[in-house]
Amino acid sequence: MDQERFKTMVSLLERDELTLMEKQFLEGVKKYYFEHSKLTERQWSILEGVYREKIWIRKTFISQNNLSKRALPQEPSEMSHVKE
């Protein structure tokens, strides 16, 4: 993994809601990375897993929101432009 990938993952994770354990892990990984300019295979694996989980949740949430918006009946005021 390269520095750009690391920055991308950290940037996204810092914007998402994280559990206490995820926050602690992320802070530890950032500290380790900046001290050693690399991560262990295990750290990369866990970081990638958390990142993928957050991406999956984000995509699922967005698609569920889009589906629920389409399923909702329109308000009468929204239908006023429709001619009968």
| Cα(70)–Cα(66) distance, integer angstroms | 6
**Each residue of 29-50: pLDDT tens digit?**
999 999 999 999 999 999 999 9
Distance CA 35, CA 38 (A): 8
The candidate with the shortest Cα–Cα distance to 6, out of 18, 40, 21, is 40
Q: Is the pLDDT of residue 8 over 70?
A: yes
Q: Which pTM was predicted?
A: 0.70
pLDDT tens track for 45-64: 999 999 999 999 888 887 76
Looking at the predicted structure, is the pLDDT value of residue 65 above 90? no
What residue segments make up the domains of the chain, in order of their start? 34-62
